[in-house]
C-alpha cells in the first residue's frame, strides 16, 4: 500500500511538471493559432489517439453515469480551458497563474461540503497561505499586482471548474479503466466544446502554414499534456485522493519559472528562489499532520455553518 501511494505521488508530480511546461508550447502556437483553435486541435488529436490505443466500442451507460461523464468533460476540458483562455484575454497572465494556483484550496472547500471523507484541516489552511505567498513572490517578483475584475473572475471560475472535475473523477475511478474514463471524458469535452467554437466563430478548416515546430508542439500538448497527464492525474486521485493530488498544483509557477530559464533564458532572481522555497514549505505543511495534533483534528466547516444557521 505504501509503495502504491508513493507511485501515485510520483504520477502527480510528473503530471504537474508536464503541465507546468505547456505554456511554452502554447506560446509558440499562439503566433499562428487562436486560443480556441489550440484547444480544439489539441483535444481532437488527443481523442483520435485514444481511439487508436483504446479501439473498443464504448457503449452507453445508465443515464446517471452519462451525466457524470458529461460533467467531467465540461468541467475538466471544455469550459475549464475556455474560462482560462477568456481570463487571459481580459487580465494579466500573472493574475491567472496566481488564481489557478488556488485550485487546491477550492478542492478542499468543495470536497469538505460534499464528502464526509474529506476534512478541512488547520495544516491545509496554513500550507495554503504560505504556498500562495510563495507563488505570489515567484509570479510578481517585485512587480505591482494589478486587478481586472472581469478577467480575474473568469480565472476563479476556471479554478473552481477544475476543482469540481478533480472531485467528480473519484466517483468513476473505481468502476472503469483509466483509458475508458479518459476517452469518454474527452468525448464529452469535445461535444461541450462545439458550442464554444461556434460562438467564437472558429474555422478549423482554414489552411495553415504547418512546420515541424507546430506539429511537434501540438503532439506534445495532445499526447503528453492531455492523454498521458489525464491518465496519470486520474490514477493519482484514485489512490491518494483529490486533495493531496491537487496540492501539487502549487508547484506549477515554480516549474514554469525553471522551464522559462532553461528554454527562454529568463533570469531567476533571489526573490523568486525565496518564493520557491516557500512553496515547498507550504506543500510540506499541507501534506503533514503535525498541527492537527495541537489544534482540533479538523475544522468541520459544515457543522460551523449548521450551528450558525440554527441560531
> Could you report the per-residue pLDDT of 192-224, keeping only the tens digit for each?
999 989 888 888 877 667 889 899 999 999 999
User: What are 128-142's pLDDT values in tens digits?
Assistant: 788 778 777 766 665
The whole-model pTM stands at: 0.80
Work out the percent of the chain whose per-residue pLDDT is above 70. 81
Q: Which residue has the higher pLDDT, 307 or 262?
A: 262
Residue 298 pLDDT > 70: no
Q: Name residues whose C-beta falls within 8 Å of residue 107's C-beta, 6 or more positions apart in sequence.
A: 163, 166, 167, 242, 243, 246
Q: Please give the grid coordinates belonging to residue 124.
A: 491545509
Q: Residue 1 — very low, low, confident or very high, per pLDDT cuts 50/70/90?
A: low
Residue 309 pLDDT > 70: no
CA distance 302 to 112: 8
DSSP-derived 3-state class of residue 299: strand
Return the minimum-mean-pLDDT range out of 49-63, 69-83, 260-274. 260-274
What value does the mean pLDDT take over residues 15-31? 82
What value does the mean pLDDT take over residues 14-41? 84
DSSP element (H, E) containing 83: helix 79-90
Amino acid at each position: 500500500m505504501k509503495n502504491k501511494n508513493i507511485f501515485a505521488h510520483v504520477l502527480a508530480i510528473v503530471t504537474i511538471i508536464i503541465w507546468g511546461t505547456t505554456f511554452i508550447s502554447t506560446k509558440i502556437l499562439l503566433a499562428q493559432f487562436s486560443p480556441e483553435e489550440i484547444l480544439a486541435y489539441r483535444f481532437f488529436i488527443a481523442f483520435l489517439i485514444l481511439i487508436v490505443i483504446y479501439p473498443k466500442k464504448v457503449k452507453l451507460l445508465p443515464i446517471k453515469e452519462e451525466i457524470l461523464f458529461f460533467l467531467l468533460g465540461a468541467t475538466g476540458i471544455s469550459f475549464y480551458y475556455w474560462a482560462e483562455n477568456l481570463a487571459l484575454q481580459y487580465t494579466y497572465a500573472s493574475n491567472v497563474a496566481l488564481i489557478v494556483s488556488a485550485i487546491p484550496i477550492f478542492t478542499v472547500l468543495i470536497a469538505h461540503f460534499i464528502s464526509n471523507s474529506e476534512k478541512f484541516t488547520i495544516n491545509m489552511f496554513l500550507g495554503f497561505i504560505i504556498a500562495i505567498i510563495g507563488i505570489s513572490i515567484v509570479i510578481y517578483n517585485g512587480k505591482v499586482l494589478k486587478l481586472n475584475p472581469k478577467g480575474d473572475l473568469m480565472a476563479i471560475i476556471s479554478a473552481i471548474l477544475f476543482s469540481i472535475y478533480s472531485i467528480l473523477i473519484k466517483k468513476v475511478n473505481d468502476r472503469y479503466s483509466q483509458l475508458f474514463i479518459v476517452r469518454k471524458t474527452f468525448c464529452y469535452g469535445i461535444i461541450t466544446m462545439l458550442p464554444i467554437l461556434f460562438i467564437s466563430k472558429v474555422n478549423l478548416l482554414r489552411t495553415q502554414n504547418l512546420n515541424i515546430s507546430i506539429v511537434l508542439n501540438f503532439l506534445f500538448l495532445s499526447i503528453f499534456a492531455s492523454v498521458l497527464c489525464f491518465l496519470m492525474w486520474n490514477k493519482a486521485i484514485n489512490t491518494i485522493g483529490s486533495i493531496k493530488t491537487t496540492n501539487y498544483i502549487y508547484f506549477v509557477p515554480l516549474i514554469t519559472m525553471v522551464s522559462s530559464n532553461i528554454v527562454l533564458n529568463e533570469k531567476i532572481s533571489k526573490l523568486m528562489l525565496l518564493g520557491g522555497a516557500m512553496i515547498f514549505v507550504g506543500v510540506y505543511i499541507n501534506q503533514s499532520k503535525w498541527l492537527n495534533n495541537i489544534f482540533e483534528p479538523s475544522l468541520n466547516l459544515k457543522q460551523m455553518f449548521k450551528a450558525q444557521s440554527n441560531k
